[in-house]
Chains A and B, each alone.
Chain A
Amino acid sequence: MEFDKGVAIDEAKEDGRDELNKDLLKLDEALRKIQITPACSLPEQAQQVDLSQCPTSYKENSPQEKLLLAIAENFRCQYAHIYPDRKPLLLCPLNECGVQKFVSTTLRPTLSPFPELYSWDGCASFVSDFLSLEPLDPPTDPPKHLHSPTWVLQTNRGSCFEFSTLLCSLLLGAGYNAYCVSGYAVKEMCLLNQSLQQCPLLGPLVKVKATKQRQQVKKYSVKPPRDLCSGFEQRQEDRRQAEAQAILLQKQQEEERLREDGERPPPDALLGLRVHCWVLVLADSREVPENFFIDPLSGKSFSTTDKCFLGIESIWNHQNYWVNMQDCRFGCAEMTYDLGDAVKWEYLLYGAAGQSVLTIPDMMMQQEVEDEDEEESRVFEMPPSWVNQIKISQQDMETRCPGGMKVIHYRKAKLEKFAPYLLKDGLVTRLTTYSDLDCTHSSTVKEWYQHRHDHLEERELNKATNVTVEHFRPGRSFALRSHRYIMMTPETERQMDFYSCARADGLVRRVEMPFEMTETFENRPDFLYYRHVVFGKRVKVFSPSNKEAPDRVDRPIQKVVESFHRDQSKPAREDVAERIFLVCEDRIQVTYHLEDDRIIPAWRNFIKPKDSGDSQKPHSFSRQMASTFHVDSFEKPCKNLFLYEMLVHMMKEEETVALRVKDSEKEVRAILAVREQEESSIELHISIYNTARNERARCHREAQERMAQEERLQEQEKELDFLAPFLAQLVDPENLTRQVALKLRSDCLADLKQRLVDKANLMQARFERETQELQQKQQWYQKNQLTMTKEDEDEYLAYCSDAMLRIHVLKLRLSSHKDKAPQKYLSLDERLRRDPRLANHLL
């Protein structure tokens, strides 16, 4: 530390000398600019953003800004004069157009429309994800350039100062009391090297909280039975063990220390000199309980006493600029952030808004104020930001990282992030942990998925045991919740958890071993909660039909154990607690629940009759086939009939249980088949609200738009021009004379009249024809009435009624036509009068 301090002081002294010698300073600056320029010019990014598109505020300074720059320059000169051994402040760097801009005006408070960006952690993680870092060059000086947040968003890259400016703008917009901080930090932070840190996703293992034994000593609690062990021996033993433990612990600590020493990076020669910029959020706004720092590069928050931050030069927000006057020799731990305290924080602008009242008017400030506006005593306020509003598109939010993906190296871990829908299998995050520091031997791989059609959310592969655990969202077939397996083939070791409330059988978990299967249930009406099945070896049957599918032959069941919860509606001695079907031994054991105040349950053992193969046939039964034990010797022995009926019932149960087990095995096979099929063709689910990606929705929308278009066209066509045929005959349809107009009108009316008359005539003719035909038919009927057959007569009658109907309809139509014709005529006349083309001439 001593050495570092010395360097810092030397550096500061050098700076002070530079200040005195202005020529040297200029030269130095010029030299630095030459050095910096190539680093800043980013070949592909720079081309993307057209500088000429920038608004004028980017390229010029307003009078107010010029005034501000003058104030800043004055401040800088005085500061350099008074504190020659401190580093120059970052006050007015150049923006992307090469114009000097004050840092505070580069902040553009913006509230973004995304709810995610309303909280500080959302903003921080967005900024850290969205930008990629350009390290400062040299790392010990603040940059000469500070690009606007809009530029940074477009190019997707920036220095830590630009990160902070963007983040601070977002936070200020969201209502936080945020400040950009220019200062010094450790190397790992400046270079965004997180490989020494624990991955936050891994986190400390969740400690199982030992449920506190509610050892409430009641008045009549029984005393524990007397302990007959020797207290002395116990103590000696304890002491021996404690010693052994202490030695072990010491060894462990030793090892730990050695390991840590090995891991520790070599000491940094520039410790305490590396310039960094981060964000300070002060308490009391947006319910922030206490001050904290945000490192914009990693997006993490730190307490203000964190050891990573080594010192602060200055801080600023969109309203003012403060220089730190506190001692930073021991880091930032003892700093206070009461910006109203002029002893600790030297401000640039007097009485800027948002500050606590200044109690000690500063000499320098007074001078300034007097200089600026002596008469008016009006304080100078920070001019508005020259930066355009910050716009973040939906696309940007989704893509997040540049190119949609990002890799972060942590200690013994690698974290990969992907934008949703970027990868075909829906992977969004992958965390690989390694067993060594060089990250060569991976131990576990944990993957998170989104929008998967098979509802897969998380998959964890343990490389050491080769066990894979998959977690699913609710909504899958068979209500699968998680699946833990080594191999996907059936009848191997696996564990499946289910969403039991979504299943009719209330299954919670099914654990399989090569020859065992255990199922646990919940909330079943028959109180079953546990079933354990032991399988025997598959009997090999060498028949041609079984060769193709050996799996189809079911494994023989050796033993089934089923346990039941207590059914309060039955007395305990009749409520079965456990039944064991020893299939291979042809025995059934039934155990009942414990009665009150009992420690030994009653049980019954049955031996199945030998001829039990056919359940239809009545079974022979003898007293020896059932044995009963009951602790109460006064219990009446139950009757043979009851035992026989129970045996029959149990044998039936055995059959149903065997069926259930087969169903379970079938289900496992079905799940495995479905999983394999899903994994081989992964589909992503696209929400119907996702307009950008949902192909069908887009097609539908486009089709609708097309339909609407067509409808509009049709509407237009409908408006027929009844004058068109007449106008077409004219030479000059645009200019009508009165005469022509009158003629048009009369033509039109005549035409309509003609059509109406024609129509009436047509109807009249049809009417007459029908009448005539009917008459003829009637005459014919009169004549041949006597010789007619029944069918003919029916036909005639049917014809007559048809004809009468037709005649009647025609008559009605004719009369209504006659009624309406004059009206139609008049209405046409009216419309012609109103027609804009004829109106002038006719009225």
Chain B
Amino acid sequence: MSRLYDTLEPSVMDKKMLQQAVEEQGPQDQAGQIAKEEGVLYEEVCQLCLNYRNILKIDHLWQFTSLTKLQLDNNIIVKIEGLECLTNLKWLDLSFNNIEVIEGLNSLVLLEDLSLYNNRISVIENMDTLLNLHILSLGNNLFTQLENVIYLRRFKNLRTLNLAGNPICREDHYKIFVAAYLPELVYLDFGLLNEETREQAHGKYQYAIEEMRHNETQERKAIEAKKEQEDQFQLHMDAFVEHLNGPYLFDSMYADDAEAAKLSYLPGVPVLLETFKSQLVELCMQMFEVGLAQHGRREDELKSFFDCSREAVEENQQRAAQSVADFERARRQVMSEMQQATDPRLLETQLNHCNDEINQLCDSLMTQELQLVDQLEDIIKDFERDILDMVAGFVEVVQGIFAQCRDLENHHHEKLLEIAVATLEQVAKNELEEDMPDDVRMLFVDKDTVINAVSASHDTHLLKIDNREDELVTRVNSWISALIKSIQDKEVKRNRKRIAEIHNYIDYVRDQLSEMRQERWGKNI
């Protein structure tokens, strides 16, 4: 590290340097010649070596997107930068530089071998995304915290680690500590981690490790549970009945309803609310069940449709591919025969015959494709009809249940109104025993206020129910139309691709034939 780089002029990573390196390290001899004539594209270069060049700053590498191996060792690089675009990198060597902080590596997720040997790094950090790391060399740096090694636990594939020459190596339990916290490690500091060390490590750090492992398991379980929950919710979303398997609708109805809170202080209302809630929840559950069942049916239907259409397409493809393969084999045979043929008349008949064959193949391929298009059109039509029926049935059932919900709400509203009127009378007669908060008492100044409050609450509830219904129906409809459109688009795309393919091939074959004709005629004449 006591290199006297100050005395040397640092060189700049410019286009010239890169070009030179690429040419030097590219293919040699004849291949090199060809490459030179053609020019080398930077995005196709797979390996690049830029060592011993006194580079201070990494630059101009953004073009080398397919690079898998990059050597920048033995330079005077201070900062890791400019590597963000090299996402295919597997092998990165930055040893013998003047780097102080690990950074700028987050996009290199495929990295397997990383060397930062002989730098000035003091903390292991900023490598969270490098989960494929297999070999890591961090020797001759300035690590002082042994606990920092625990950071490396996240690399499940790490087998080889080099930390030699760091201050932490002078600590007594360095080796045992590393062996204990990185149980998958095979090689440490140029040597095999033997069984003995491992056992010692296990004995010494057993409890700490156990605890850590326990915590890690807990975290993993939590993540899994969350994921499962999300999956479940996604399923409900797909079935369009999310938040219907509980009192969510009820809660949402009362969430924005200020009047309801006040009204709940009236005598008898809590009981009424309770029954209302349970009835509503029951209806919601009904809807939820129906939704899930319908979703399952729709999925089955979809699967059956896709299976069948795939089968049909595959069968058709196989047949077509077979006939093309047979034709191609025969064509090659005939072409090579024609190359050798000398009799112009025979050649002519052969050429004509060949032409006929091509036309025949073209016809048969097109016929097959047309057949397939017809067949698929039929089943797509059938499928559309069935799935639309299914969805319509579902929407009908759901709307029926929503109507029940509204009836329930109306009923509830009437009851509430009765209570409210009765209470009003009581208040008017001053017979009310219970104490009411002042804002509630304010409602009972006259009849209109009370009725207005109750109606407002009722309107809010109805609005919520309507909203939920609208949401469901809209989403179902948009889903179905998107599905049908995607199926049709896919079929159109497939058809175009096939037609283009056939045309392309036939054109090619015809071109070959006419070339042959010209060539032979030219010779004969």
Contact = CB atoms under 8 A, between A and B. Distances in A.
Interface in B464-498: 494, 497-498
A631 B365 CA distance: 15
Interface in B55-82: none
B375 interface: yes
A633 B27 contact: no
Contact of B371 (A225, A597, A618, A644): A225
Interface string A579-616: 00000010001000010011111000000000000000
A619 to B, nearest CB: 6
Contacts of B311: 221
B324 interface: yes
Nearest to B325: A601
Interface in B1-32: 27, 29-31
A585 B321 contact: no
Contact of A220 (B30, B325, B336, B382): B382
Interface stretch (B197-205, B255-263, B300-308): B300-308
Contact of A600 (B27, B305, B309, B505): B505
Most buried by A among B301, B325, B378: B325
Given A599-B321, A600-B505, A629-B508, A222 B308 contact: yes
Nearest to A633: B504
A405 B313 CA distance: 64
Interface residues of A, number: 29
Contacts of A644: 30-31, 34
Interface in A616-672: 618-621, 629, 631-633, 639-641, 644-645, 648
B30 A219 contact: no
A-B pairs, top 8 by smallest CB distance, nearest first, are A618-B30, A220-B308, A222-B375, A599-B320, A222-B312, A599-B321, A220-B379, A631-B501
Interface of A: 218-223, 225, 585, 589, 594, 597-601, 618-621, 629, 631-633, 639-641, 644-645, 648
A620 B30 CA distance: 7
Contacts of A594: 317, 321
Given A220-B308, A223-B378, A598-B317, 8 more contacts: A219-B301, A594-B317, A597-B317, A600-B324, A632-B504, A640-B34, A644-B34, A645-B27
20 contacts: A220-B308, A220-B379, A221-B308, A222-B308, A223-B378, A225-B371, A597-B497, A597-B498, A598-B321, A599-B498, A619-B30, A621-B34, A631-B501, A632-B504, A633-B504, A640-B37, A641-B31, A641-B34, A644-B30, A648-B31
A600 B35 CA distance: 31
A598 B317 CA distance: 7
A599 B317 CA distance: 6
B27 A222 contact: no
A218 B312 contact: no
B501 A599 contact: yes
A641 B498 CA distance: 31
Interface in B422-461: none
Nearest to A587: B336
Contacts of B250: none
Contacts of A223: 375, 378
A632 B508 CA distance: 12
B229 to A, nearest CB: 34
A632 B502 CA distance: 10
A631 B507 CA distance: 10
A621 B307 CA distance: 49
Nearest to A619: B30
Interface of B: 27, 29-31, 34-35, 37-38, 301, 304-305, 307-309, 311-313, 317, 320-321, 324-325, 332, 336, 365, 371, 374-376, 378-379, 382-383, 494, 497-498, 500-502, 504-505, 508
A366 B49 CA distance: 115
B510 to A, nearest CB: 13
The SS class assigned to the A binding surface is loop
B501 A640 contact: no
A642 B512 CA distance: 24
Contacts of B382: 220
Contact of A219 (B304, B501, B508): B304
Contact of A598 (B37, B301, B374, B501): B501
A806 to B, nearest CB: 48
Contacts of A639: 38
A618 B27 CA distance: 12
Nearest to A631: B501
A225 B375 contact: yes
Contacts of A633: 500, 504
Contacts of B324: 599-600
Nearest to B382: A220
B30 A218 contact: no
Most buried by B among A599, A639, A641: A599
A220 B309 contact: yes
B35 A641 contact: yes
A585 B337 CA distance: 12
Contacts of B30: 618-621, 644
Nearest to A219: B304
Contacts of B502: 599-600
A218 B305 CA distance: 9
Nearest to A582: B336
Nearest to B321: A599
B468 to A, nearest CB: 33
A223 B309 CA distance: 11
Given A599-B317, A641-B35, A645-B27, A219 B494 contact: no
Contacts of A225: 371, 374-375
Nearest to A594: B321
Given A225-B371, A585-B336, A618 B37 contact: no
A601 to B, nearest CB: 8
A594 B314 CA distance: 12
A599 B503 CA distance: 12
A640 B308 contact: no
Contacts of B494: 597
Nearest to B336: A585
Contacts of A645: 27, 31
Contacts of B301: 219
Contacts of B378: 222-223
Contacts of A219: 301, 304-305, 308
Nearest to B29: A618
B375 A640 contact: no
A466 to B, nearest CB: 34
Contact of B505 (A589, A620, A631): A631
Contacts of B505: 600, 631
Contacts of A585: 336
A618 B371 CA distance: 53
Contacts of A597: 313, 317, 494, 497-498
A632 B324 CA distance: 16
A220 B379 CA distance: 6
A816 to B, nearest CB: 46
A620 B27 CA distance: 15
A601 B500 CA distance: 14
B106 to A, nearest CB: 27
B31 A220 contact: no
B379 to A, nearest CB: 5
Nearest to B309: A220
Contact of B321 (A220, A600, A619, A640): A600
A296 B471 CA distance: 87
Contacts of B383: 220
Contacts of A640: 34, 37-38
A594 B328 CA distance: 14
A601 B320 CA distance: 12
Contacts of A621: 30, 34
A641 B37 CA distance: 10
Contacts of B321: 594, 598-601
B383 to A, nearest CB: 6
